[in-house]
Amino acid sequence: MSDLVDNTDVVVVGGNVAGTSIATGLAKRGVNVVVVDRLEVFEIGRYTCGDGLEKYQFQRLGLELPKGPFVIRKVHSGQFVSPDLSEYITVYAEALGIDRFKFNQWLISQACSHDVVYIDQTCAEAPVLENDRCVGLRVFDKRKKEHYRINATVTVDASGFNGALRRKLPQHWPVSEPIEGIDTGLCYREVRQLEKPLEHDVLMACFSRTIAPGGIYWLGSRDERKVNVGIGVRGVPEHPNPRRQLHEQVIPRHPFLKGSKILHKGGGIVPVRRPLDSMVASGFLTIGDAACQTNPISGSGIGTSMFAGQLGAKVIANALETGETDLKTLWTYNIKYNHQYGWFQAGNQCLRSALQSMSDEELNILFRTHIIDSSLLLTALKTGEVTLDFSAKLSILSRLGSHPRLIRKLNKIKKQMNRARELYKNYPKTPEGFDAWRKKQDQLLQQLPHSS
């Protein structure tokens, strides 16, 4: 075993988008970095996904939209659909449809070109702790059937939703925070071959409490004969199996899917909430789904994982340069992430909770009355803010006496979203202010609407 494997500056668990992004960012800064993954390196990236990169998200995060052989098609617009399918809101925003596996392999090739070392077919078993800090991890080599230890100044958990390392850290460390089922989405997706070519591209998302309780379902064409169709439901016991819902509820609603054949299928769990309250500890940082860095509305996280990778790499590299990799030094990652994107997630968690509490009829009213329109949605997607026009519409409808209960709900949503955003924009500058901040957050979360 080489010195680089036994002892390294940074060890990253997980070679998907988040792990590979932070590894590349570190290597570009001259940091020795090792990535550990349970799969063979040429199999990393076979992940159930919506297969899209939204240009507005990359722009907001200051990233260039990736280009490469993984791009399937360009998208110029998408539709949000009412539960009864009678109303469509078209949002004109550019995006790329991608092959998720090829994209991940492309990222890995970029990382390897910067001398990132991948140790594949190796499972991360547990973090190694000394003097109240993480100093590496214990792993199991599946090929050689051997257990060994990798020593690292900083350990990064990019292992996905399960958080293979962070959930094994001491419970009193905030980074080990458990994720409740109410804040997860159970997803199932199929790529289907159509009997007849599509006459035009399809990209739509539909909220429906009866079909996708606590979530959404979506359809997106990959080419004229292939469609990505999937569904996410809130991860609580009383909700239906997403695979069954897709087959029994979604596919029969869309005639062009009749007779289509399954080319690929898969499922998974994604976090649909704000980021972890703290994503660092002494000698430790977490990123991607393991850190709950996804959009609570859609569950998308490719752009945020890449952004967090760049940010985390910069914070860790600076810490290594100073020789200080304790909690206080790595805390900068918490601050910068929440100031730039965490506030957006927190606001969207409020919106998600509100949408989940609405009946299908209330959602249909939002579409029919044009309280929500393409301009409002596009502004919200790009900036995370609701426009003054939205407030004006609510005021007019309130004076007219139209749908008073729904108007009260929408006004409350707006206030809660604003409070959440401000809370995260004022994330504590030091660990000492964390407990007081968290109490305010708990008070906000307790006021959010919930539904079964």
| E strand residue ranges, 14-169 | 33-36, 52-54, 71-75, 78-81, 88-91, 95-98, 117-119, 122-130, 133-141, 146-157
Distance in angstroms between the alpha carbons of the first and the last residue of the chain: 52
Place of tokens 């997980």: 14
Cα 400 to Cα 62, 194, 347, 367, 393: the distances in Å are 43, 47, 28, 18, 11
Residues near 212 by beta carbon (within 8 Å), at least 6 away in sequence:
206, 231, 232, 233, 242, 245
d(CA 333, CA 327): 10
CB 233 within 8 Å of CB 215: yes
- Three-state SS at 289: helix
d(CA 282, CA 273): 25
| Tens-place pLDDT, residues 261-318 | 999 999 999 999 999 999 999 999 999 999 999 988 888 889 999 999 999 999 999 9
Q: Which pLDDT belongs to residue 385?
A: 66
Q: Which pLDDT belongs to residue 368?
A: 86
d(CA 205, CA 220): 9
Q: Which pLDDT belongs to residue 389?
A: 58
Cα 315 to Cα 9, 156, 332: the distances in Å are 14, 12, 7
Question: Of 16, 20, 18, whose CA–CA distance to 34 is shortest?
Answer: 20
User: CATH code for 181-270?
Assistant: 3.30.9.10
Domain map of the chain by residue range?
A: 3-47+103-180+273-339, 181-270, 346-446
Segments of the chain with pLDDT less than 50: 1-4, 388, 452
The token duo for 436 is 């007081």
Output the DSSP codes for 122-161. Answer: EEEEEEEEETTEEEEEEEEETTTTEEEEEEEEEEEE---T
The token duo for 287 is 């990123």
CB 205 within 8 Å of CB 80: yes
Sheet of 95-98: strand order equals 52-54, 95-98, 71-75
Handedness of CA 37, 180, 246, 288 (dihedral sign): negative
Cα 111 to Cα 3, 108, 273, 341, 343: the distances in Å are 20, 5, 29, 25, 30
The token duo for 414 is 């707006």
Q: Which pLDDT belongs to residue 398?
A: 60
Q: Which pLDDT belongs to residue 382?
A: 65
CATH 3.50.50.60 fits 3-47+103-180+273-339, yes or no: yes
